Structures are given as structure tokens and as C-alpha cells.
């Protein structure tokens, strides 16, 4: 197999037919030996029915049907685990990223003999002023907290990868992960291309989901927050000791009463730090708890003529 194209489906029914037509056209410019892998991530609409109809008409289509919604990154990983191409192109099916990027990435990879990944970066970050500002702040903080890698900023899902690179990506066996971090941890030489990205009025990524995703990225990739808690505890302990000495000196030498207000403020501050620290520890413990269970991504069915199987 020359080329595998992987995409996920979740509330994707309005885009499937156009996406299929455009991505098929791009794939055929490159080779007749290709497969389209659609991963149904427990989509609540009729996405599966639509893609199954296309599957019955087109031998290039394979379907990985998950038993429920596992999330975008786990659905992608399920698709990557079922590829057989020498090259793998990953893209979202909602048409925010143009299927025509495949040809652009393919041409670029052909020029870069020592590069294993071509990936897209947004030309201009979408959304409101708050989304743009908070996004820049998030990436700045994230790269201060993550060990060993520099987290890519404003990346697209779209990327063209070699088989040897994907073989290393799927070696990561943790169940709680951020896929973009794994892409970076894997290593190999990569190259980014600036691309335009469309904008939908509605999105399945709510603000609450974005906050949860940000927290998950940090705790699943870095130990620095735990180290910062240790240093913060030392700092507060030292400051508290100096303040205690100050209160004793002013009380016994200068006969100035400390008063309950200053003590109450100090106790409230320390209590807030303690609660925050316990919260951070709790998040890490929850990740360890989920990892220890090793809960799998359940594939309900695989429809694939190229493998001559239906599971």
C-alpha cells in the first residue's frame, strides 16, 4: 500500500460527502494504491451510515468503528494502528483544513529526503481576541512546564508522515496521553508549512473542554508542576518564618501588637496555597489511577476489503 489517509468522524455528517470527494481526488493524483481510513468516534449523528454507504461503493474505504466516543486523539491513534501505507496522511474531516493540503505536503516531502513529517501551522489563529490571546498565553506557559520537548504552537491536524515514523508513534502504550506531545517525543526530523485554516461558527471544543484539554496536556507530559509545588512550599515556609520573627520582634521589643488581621490574612493565603497544591496532586493521582487501569479503546467493527476482513 502506497498511501493511507486517516480521518475521524464525530458529528461529521454535513461534511462527509464533500470531504470524501475532495480527498479521493487528491489521493488519485498521487497513486491508485491508497486507502481512506474513517474512524467513527461514536458519532451521535448518521456519520457512520453515510460512510458505510460510501464503503459499499468504493474499495478504497476502510472503516474503524469505535464502540463509543473515546475522544479525538484516541480515535486518531486507533486509525494509525490500522494503517498499511508507506506514507500516512492525517487530516480532520470537517473541511476546516483543505484536503488539497495532501498534494502540497506530498510535493514538499519529496523534496526533503531526510524529513519524516510535514505538518501544517495556522497562518492566522482563528477565533475572538480572547481566544487568540489566551491561546498565546497557554502555549507560552505550556512550553515552560513541559520537559524535553517544545510543544508546537497553532498546529493543524493535517500532517504527512512516513511509515517508519508511525511505527514508533504507536509504540507508546499509555492510555492517558496528548497525541501532539507523542508526535514530538517520538523525534525524527520534521518540517512545518504555514497553511490557511477555515473557521466554523460551531465547534465541539467548548471552552470547558479546552480548559480540560490544557490541564490534561500539562499533567500527562510534565513533572514540573510537582517540582514547582515543592519550591512554592519552601518559599512560603521561609516567608512565614520571617514574618513570624517580625511579629515577635515588634511585639516583645517595640511593644507593637500584631493584631488578628495580619494573622488571618497570612493563614488564608497559606490555606489557599495548600488547597491548590492538593488539587494539583489530585490531578496527577487521577492520571496514575487511569493509567493503572489500562482501559483500551474498544473497536466494535473494522470494515476493510484490503485486509479481506470484517471484525
In a shared domain, residues 92 and 155: yes
Residues in contact with 273: Cβ distance below 8 Å, sequence separation at least 6, in sequence order: 232, 233, 236
Percent of the residues in the chain that have a pLDDT greater than 90, as a whole number:
40
In a shared domain, residues 279 and 149: no
Residue 64 covered by a domain: yes
| Structural domain span for residue 68 | 3-210+296-310
What is the band of 309 on the pLDDT scale with cuts at 50, 70, 90? Answer: very low
29's grid cell: 493524483
Residue 215 covered by a domain: no
Q: Is the pLDDT of residue 158 over 50?
A: yes
In a shared domain, residues 163 and 48: yes
Burial 260-288 (b: 16+ CB within 10 A, else e): eeeeeebeeeeeeeeeebeebeebeeebe
CATH number of the domain residue 100 falls in = 3.90.550.10
Residue 80 covered by a domain: yes
What is the band of 206 on the pLDDT scale with cuts at 50, 70, 90? Answer: low
In a shared domain, residues 305 and 283: no
Crossing angle of helices 260-293/207-221, nearest 10°? 80
pLDDT given at position 311: 43
Q: Is the pLDDT of residue 15 over 80?
A: yes
Alpha carbon 11 to its chain centroid, in Å, reads 19
> In the chain, how many domains are there?
2
pLDDT given at position 241: 67
Residue 231 covered by a domain: yes
User: CA-to-CA distance for 225 and 180, rounded, in angstroms?
Assistant: 20
In a shared domain, residues 192 and 164: yes
What is the band of 182 on the pLDDT scale with cuts at 50, 70, 90? Answer: confident
Residue 30 covered by a domain: yes
Mean pLDDT in residue range 192-204: 70
Mean pLDDT value across the chain: 81
In a shared domain, residues 263 and 131: no
pLDDT given at position 295: 60
Residue 219 covered by a domain: no
pLDDT given at position 32: 93
> What is the per-residue pLDDT across 47-65, written as a single tens digit (0 to 9) for each?
999 999 999 999 999 999 9
pLDDT given at position 128: 61
Q: Is the pLDDT of residue 38 over 70?
A: yes
Q: Is the pLDDT of residue 72 over 70?
A: yes
Q: Is the pLDDT of residue 37 over 60?
A: yes
pTM, entire model: 0.74
Residue 243 covered by a domain: yes
pLDDT given at position 118: 94
In a shared domain, residues 53 and 196: yes
Which carries the bigger pLDDT value, residue 287 or residue 100? 100
pLDDT given at position 255: 72
In a shared domain, residues 305 and 282: no
Alpha carbons within 13 A on the beta-carbon side of 19: 25
In a shared domain, residues 167 and 239: no
- The values of phi and psi at residue 29, to 5°, are -70, -25
In a shared domain, residues 187 and 255: no
Alpha carbon 144 to its chain centroid, in Å, reads 17
Percent of the residues in the chain that have a pLDDT greater than 70, as a whole number:
70
Out of 134-138, 227-231, 266-270, 293-297, least confident range: 293-297
Which carries the bigger pLDDT value, residue 32 or residue 154? 32
Q: What is the 3-state secondary structure (H, E, C) of the chain?
A: CCEEEEEEECCCCCCHHHHHHHHHHHHHHHCCCEEEEEEECCCCCCHHHHHHHHHHHCCCEEEEEECCCCCHHHHHHHHHCCCCCCEEEECCCCCCCCCCHHHHHHHHHHHCCCCCEEEEEECCCCCCHHHHHHHHHHHHHHHHHCCCCCCCCCEEEEEEEEHHHHHHHCCCCCCCCCHHHHHHHHCCCEEEEEECCCCCCCCCCCHHHHHHHHHHHHHHHCCHHHHHHHHHHHHHHHHHHHHHHHHHHHHHCCCCCCCHHHHHHHHHHHHHHHHHHHHHHHHHHHHHHHHHHCCCCCEEEEEECCCCEEC
Length, in residues, of the chain: 311
pLDDT given at position 39: 96
pLDDT given at position 232: 73
Mean pLDDT in residue range 270-276: 72
pLDDT given at position 60: 94
Residue 218 covered by a domain: no
Amino acid at each position: 500500500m502506497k498511501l493511507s489517509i486517516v480521518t475521524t468522524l464525530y458529528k461529521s455528517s454535513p461534511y462527509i460527502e464533500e470531504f470524501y470527494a475532495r480527498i479521493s481526488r487528491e489521493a488519485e493524483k498521487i497513486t491508485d494504491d491508497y486507502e481512506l481510513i474513517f474512524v467513527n468516534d461514536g458519532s451521535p449523528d448518521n456519520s457512520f451510515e453515510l460512510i458505510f454507504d460510501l464503503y459499499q461503493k468504493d474499495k478504497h474505504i476502510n472503516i474503524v468503528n469505535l464502540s463509543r466516543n473515546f475522544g479525538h486523539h484516541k480515535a486518531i491513534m486507533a486509525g494509525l494502528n490500522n494503517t498499511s501505507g508507506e506514507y500516512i496522511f492525517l487530516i480532520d474531516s470537517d473541511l476546516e483544513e483543505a484536503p488539497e493540503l495532501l498534494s502540497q505536503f506530498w510535493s514538499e516531502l519529496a523534496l526533503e529526503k531526510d524529513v519524516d513529517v510535514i505538518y501544517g501551522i495556522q497562518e492566522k489563529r482563528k477565533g475572538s481576541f480572547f481566544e487568540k490571546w489566551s491561546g498565546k498565553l497557554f502555549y507560552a506557559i505550556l512550553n515552560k512546564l513541559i520537559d524535553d520537548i517544545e510543544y508546537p504552537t497553532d498546529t493543524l491536524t493535517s500532517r504527512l508522515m512516513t511509515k517508519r515514523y508511525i511505527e514508533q508513534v504507536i509504540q507508546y502504550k499509555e492510555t492517558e496521553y496528548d497525541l501532539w506531545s507523542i508526535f514530538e517525543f517520538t523525534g525524527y526530523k520534521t518540517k512545518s508549512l504555514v497553511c490557511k485554516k477555515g473557521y466554523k461558527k460551531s465547534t465541539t471544543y467548548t471552552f470547558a473542554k479546552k480548559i480540560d484539554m490544557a490541564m490534561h496536556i500539562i499533567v500527562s507530559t510534565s513533572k514540573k508542576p510537582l517540582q514547582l509545588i515543592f519550591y512554592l512550599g519552601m518559599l512560603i515556609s521561609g516567608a512565614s518564618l520571617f514574618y513570624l520573627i517580625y511579629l515577635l520582634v515588634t511585639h516583645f521589643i517595640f511593644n507593637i501588637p500584631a493584631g488578628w488581621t495580619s494573622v488571618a490574612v497570612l493563614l488564608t493565603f497559606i490555606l489557599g496555597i495548600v488547597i491548590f497544591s492538593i488539587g494539583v496532586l489530585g490531578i496527577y493521582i487521577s492520571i496514575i489511577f487511569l493509567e493503572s487501569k489500562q482501559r483500551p479503546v474498544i473497536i466494535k467493527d473494522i470494515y476493510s476489503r484490503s485486509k479481506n476482513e470484517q471484525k
